[in-house]
Amino acid sequence: MPEFWPLIMAVAMMSSWLTADILIPWVVRFAHRIGNVDKPDARKVHKEPIARLGGIAIFAGFLVSLAALEFLVPGPLFVLDGPLGGVLAGASVMFLIGVADDLKPLPAKLKLALQIGAACLAFWLGIRIEFLSNPLSNGIWVLPTALSVGLTVFWLVGITNTINLIDGLDGLAGGVSLIAAGTMTLIALQTNQPVAALLTLALSGGIIGFLRYNFNPAKIFMGDSGSLFLGFTLAAISVMGVLKLIATVALALPLLILGVPILDTAFAILRRAWNRQPIFSPDRGHLHHRLLNAGLSQRKAVVVIYGISLLLGGAALTLLGIGGGPTMIIVACLFIAWGGWTVMRTRLAARPPES
C-alpha cells in the first residue's frame, strides 16, 4: 500500500460522512413537502410522522466518496469491468427499487423479482460465489455454474432483506450495518484488499452522517432506499472480499459479521411458519420488540443489539487472527451486561412489595 494510504482512507470516509450530513436536512424538508413520511401505527414504536428517504443521503455520500477517491488517487484505482462494477450496478439498481417503494409501495412479488434481477446483474458483472473454503481441510469446493448463480443470488437478496427487516428502531439498521462495514474494513486491510476496504469506508462514512439524524429521537428514517442499498452493498462486498479468502473459517466469517440480521430474520421466518402466517407479514416478534417488551428504552435496546453485533464481529476477527477482535468482544460484553442489568432493575422495581 502507498505511503499516503491513511490519507486515502480518511478521504473515503470523511467525504461520504460530510455529504450525507449536509444532505439530510434537505432530504427531511423534501420528504415532508411531498408527504413521504412514515406514520405511526400499532406495530411501530414512533409516535410522530417521520421523514423517509434517508437512503438518498447515504447513497449520495457513497458515490461522492468514490468520485473523490478517483480524482485524488493517480492511476486506475477503480476498475469497473469486474466485481466493482457488479457492486456499483447492483447497489444502484437496489437503491432505485427502494426509492420507488418508498414513494409508492410495490407489490411484494414485484419487489422480490426486481431484487433478484439486481442480484443477477451483479453476478453477470462479476460478483460471484464461485468456491467455498472446505472447513474440514485446506482445500476448496469449486461450485458448478448453476449452484454458483443460485447461491450468489440467494445471498445477495437474502442479506438485502435481512437489513430491511431489522430496520425497526431509531438507529438500529444503520448501527448494525456500520459495525458490519467496520469489521469488513479491518478484514480487508489485513488481507490486502484495498478496494474492498475503501468501499466499506465510503459506506461507513455515509452511515455515520445519517446516524446523527437517525438515532433516537429520529428526525428521518433511511426507508427502503437506505436499507436495500446498505444490505445489498454489504452482501456484495462480502462476496468480493470475505468469501474470497482461502481459509478454513472463511465460510463462517460473513455469517458472524452479519449474524444479527441473519438470525433475526431466520427466527422471524420460523415463527411465522409455526404460526401459519405469511412469511412477509409484519409482527412484533423481532429481537428489538422483545427487548422493548423486557423493559428497555429504544436507545438501550439499540445499544444492546449493537453489543451483540460487536460480539459477533469480534468473534469473526478473532477467528481470522486479526487484531481488534478481543477489544470488540470486551466492549460488546459491557453493552450487553448494561442492558441485562437495566432489565433486571426494571423487573425488580415493578415487583409488588412483599406484605
pLDDT digits (tens, 9 = 90+) for 190-232: 888 888 899 999 999 999 999 999 988 889 999 999 999 999 9
Q: Please choose, from the candidates 92, 91, 62, 117, the residue with its C-alpha nearest in 3D space to the C-alpha of residue 232.
A: 91
Give the pLDDT band (50/70/90) at residue 355.
very low
**Structural contact between residues 209 and 18, judged by C-beta atoms closer than 8 angstroms:** yes
pLDDT in tens, 319-353: 887 777 777 888 888 878 877 777 676 665 555 55
Name the grid cell of 348. Answer: 425488580
pLDDT in tens, 249-304: 667 788 888 988 998 888 888 887 787 777 666 667 788 878 888 778 888 889 88
Number of domains in the chain: 1
In this prediction, residue 195 carries a pLDDT of: 87
131-133/140-142 β-pairing: antiparallel
C-alpha distances (whole Å) from 169 to each of 74, 111, 218, 281, 288 are 42, 23, 9, 18, 7
Q: Is 283 part of any domain?
A: no
The number of beta carbons lying within 10 Å of the beta carbon of residue 247 is 16
Q: Is 185 part of any domain?
A: yes
Counting every residue written for the chain, the total comes to 355
**Structural contact between residues 58 and 20, judged by C-beta atoms closer than 8 angstroms:** yes
Give the pLDDT band (50/70/90) at residue 135.
low
Q: Is 109 part of any domain?
A: yes
Q: Is 301 part of any domain?
A: no
Q: Of 102-116, 141-155, 309-323, which gets the smallest average pLDDT?
A: 309-323
**Structural contact between residues 247 and 191, judged by C-beta atoms closer than 8 angstroms:** no
Residue 132 DSSP SS3 = strand
Q: Is 49 part of any domain?
A: yes
Helices (H), 35-171: 55-72, 83-103, 108-125, 145-165
Q: Is 9 part of any domain?
A: yes
Q: Is 284 part of any domain?
A: no
Q: What CA–CA distance (Å, rounded) separates 155 from 163?
A: 12
In this prediction, residue 275 carries a pLDDT of: 78
Q: Is 325 part of any domain?
A: no
In this prediction, residue 60 carries a pLDDT of: 97
pLDDT in tens, 1-35: 556 778 888 999 999 999 999 999 999 999 999 98
Neighbour-count burial of 153, counting CB atoms closer than 10 A to its CB (0-12 exposed, 13-18 middle, 19+ buried): buried
| Global pTM value | 0.90
Give me the domain span that covers residue 106.
5-248
